[in-house]
Structure 1
Amino acid sequence: MAQQVRAVVAKAVKEPVAIETIVVPDPGPGEAVVAVQACGVCHTDLHYREGGINDDFPFLLGHEAAGVVEAVGDGVTDLAAGDYVVLAWRAPCGQCRSCRRGRPWYCFDSANAAQPMTLADGTPLSAALGIGAFAEKTLVAAGQCVKVDPRARPEAAGLIGCGIMAGFGAAVNTGNVGRGDTVAVLGCGGVGDAAIAASALAGARTVIAVDLDDRKLEWARRFGATHTVNAGAGDVVEAIRDLTDGFGADVVIEAVGRPETYRQAFFARDHAGTLVQVGVPTPELTIELPLIELFGRGGALKSSWYGDCLPSRDFPALIDLYLSGRLDLDGFVSETIGLDGVEEAFGRMQRGEVLRSVVVL
């Protein structure tokens, strides 16, 4: 029987979010209902509210979540009520051209629930990234539920579902950071700090954190940055070169999503170095670079989609790193809040006062 639960909904572009009663259907074939325990407040949720993703309002926000499976639909065989899961916004289909070529992290037909959740009056909701987890319960495709060790507290575990995985994967999956590399990370929010932590774990000899906020730079040191650069204090490219024997970094990770920082990242690479863009831009932004520089500097310019992760492989691995004390997921949790605190949490995030606010249910 369908259930009515409380949830955070963005009804119109740039309007404050509100607590609404929503209807969560019983799971259909290939679906699961999950009782959400915790969900991080990610910048992508703000992008949805601001109209930066699309205009399919009203949105059911929240996507960085952990919880317990309550029920599954017909045909679901590898998931059961009571399983502790982190929700993923990529659930590889196994059938598209990318999956068939052995690249499921680029799946072009990722699964979502077929049924919509709705407002109490029947208005269909667009679930953020196919999840919609600022809610007491949510309906997802069963493939979006990744079972992890239940010893991991949900406030920390849920963050793997988006920001931590995006940053961590940008370094190790997309950027292939390895032993002895030099790395620079532009933007030290949750995603950037996850890239810093991953680079340190991968054995990078130099990890340079770049941001405009000294408070964020101090946080970056906690996650493994060996050097910090305040972007407002001088030429970022020259500062990175000075810290890498005059050459530039082997891998530069752009975790802001702005043309200015992308350009800095491009020129801060060593020759034949790698630039990884994981910061999410808004649709109107453009970049212009001299074509001779694109040719002459060589290397690789990569976009990292969700850290190019395979959730079924990578989520449990990151949880294991957390439980062994090697990945400080707790350090990303700046505060815990209720559903009614999301709008204020957006403001703190925009002001750079938190790495992650986490809704606890």
Structure 2
Amino acid sequence: MVSRVKGAVVRGKNEPVSIETVLVPDPGPGEAVVDIITSGVCHTDLHYQQGGISDDFPFLLGHEATGRVSAIGEGVTEIEVGDRVILNWRAVCGECRACAKGQPQYCFNTHNATQKMTLEDGTELSPALGIGAFIEKTLVAAGQCTKVDEESDAAAVGLLGCGVMAGIGAAINTGEVKRGESVAVIGCGGVGMAAIAGAALAGATTIIAVDIDAAKLERAAHFGATHTINSREEDVVEGVRALTGGFGADVVIEAVGRPETYKQAFYARDLAGRVVLVGVPTPEMTLELPLLDVFGRGGSLKSSWYGDCLPSRDFPMLVEQYRLGRLDLDAFVSERIGIEDIEASFERMKDGTVLRSVVEL
């Protein structure tokens, strides 16, 4: 039986979000229907609205979500009806060359639901990151559901579905931060703050937050930053070196996604250090570095895809760290809003006044 529910849709490039009736089919083989509890408003949703992801309009927005499984399709064994789950966009296939090499965190063929959700007139919707969570219930591949405990705040743990996981994973998984190391994070938005929290969780002892916004730098201390650099007032490379014995940081995480800040990250790391790019650049951006410097400084230059996470492994572990008081996911929730407030939350996101708005369904 098809369910008729309300969802947040954008019909064309830069058009406003509209609340529409969406038809959600019963789950087919390997699929699940999930009643959404909360969903964070992520920059990726804004990029969908702006046409920066693709032109497959109309989009059903939302993807950082916690929900409860209401129906499962044939062959689904990993979840049951009634499970509370965090949704993810890395439902590993188990068959691609990454999975075959034992690296499912890089799965190149992640699963989404086969069936389509539609508008009342039959127009097929493109769900954001294969999820589409600004809706009362959504259809996903069963592998996009990771079961989590009932006690944690849904609004907080749901943010692991994208931005917070991207930042924490950039530090722990991609950057492989070790106890006692020094870390610099350039860009203190939601992903950058999560990278700071990840570095602290991993045991880094010097954590340097870099941004142009004094308020963000002040907030960074809550997530574990031991030092701050306001890049409007101070040279980033010299500042990081001054705080690390003149050498540079063991790991520098670039959470902006611009050539200028990437160069800062490249030169602010120690010899044989690691640079991690987790900020998302735009298609027209290019980077120029002297090849001799790339060779002579050694180390590694990495890009972090979704924090190189494996949801089945990382989500439960991080929820447990949250429950133990070692990871303050609550602090990422700036406000709780209704589904009709998404457009206004995009404006607050552009202003940089929130880490995350969370839609409560």
Partner residue, 1:2:
2
Q: 1:287 Cα deviation (Å)?
A: 1.2
Partner of 1:252: 252
Indicate the SS of the match to 2:160: helix
Give the equivalent residue in structure 1 for 2:114. Answer: 114
Among all aligned residue pairs of Structure 1 and Structure 2, give the percentage whose two residues are the same amino acid.
67
Any residues of structure 2 matched to 1:228-243 within 5 Å, and which? 228-243=228-243
Give 1:298's aligned residue. Answer: 298
Which consecutive unaligned segments of at least 5 residues does structure 2 have? none
1:316-361 per-residue CA deviation (whole Å, 9 max, x = no partner) reads 0010011111110000000000011111111111111000000001
Q: Which residue pairs with 2:40 in the alignment?
A: 40
The residue type equivalent to 2:334 in the other structure is S
In angstroms, what is the RMSD of aligned CA positions? Answer: 0.8
For residues 106 and 155 of structure 1, the distance between their equivalents in structure 2, rounded to whole angstroms, comes to 27
| 2:266 alignment counterpart | 266
Match of 2:333 in 1: 333
Q: Which amino acid counterpart does residue 92 of structure 1 have in structure 2?
A: V
**Superposition deviation, residue 234 in structure 1:** 2.2
Q: What is the Cα deviation at residue 85 of structure 1?
A: 0.1
**Size of the alignment, in residue pairs?**
361
Structure 1 CA distance for aligned equivalents of residues 219 and 22 of structure 2: 37
One-letter identity of the residue aligned with 1:105: Q
Q: Which residue of 2 aligns with 1:188?
A: 188
Partner of 1:354: 354
Which residue does 2:144 correspond to in 1?
144
| Inter-partner Cα distance in structure 1 for 2:135 and 2:293 | 48
Cα deviation per residue 1:37-83 (whole Å; 9 max; x = unaligned)? 00000111111111111111111110000010000001111211100
Q: Mean Cα displacement is larger for which, 8-17 or 302-311?
A: 8-17
**CA contact 1:53–1:282 (8 Å) conserved in 2:** no
CA displacement 1:198-224 (0-9 Å, x = unmatched):
111111110000111111111110000
Q: Amino acid of the residue matched to residue 41 of structure 2?
A: V
Distance 1:16 1:265 in 2: 36
Matches within 5 A, 1:200-215: 200-215=200-215
In the TM superposition, residue 228 of structure 1 has moved relative to its aligned partner by 0.7
Q: Which amino acid aligns with 1:286?
A: T
CA distance in 2, matches of 1:289, 1:149: 47
Aligned to 2:221: 221
What amino acid sits opposite 2:328 in the alignment?
Answer: D
Task: Note the alpha carbon deviations across 1:251-283, whole angstroms, 9 max, x for none.
Answer: 000111111111111111111110000111121
Shift of 1:111: 0.6
- 1:170 and 2:170 aligned: yes
5 Å-filtered alignment, 1:40-189, equals 40-189=40-189
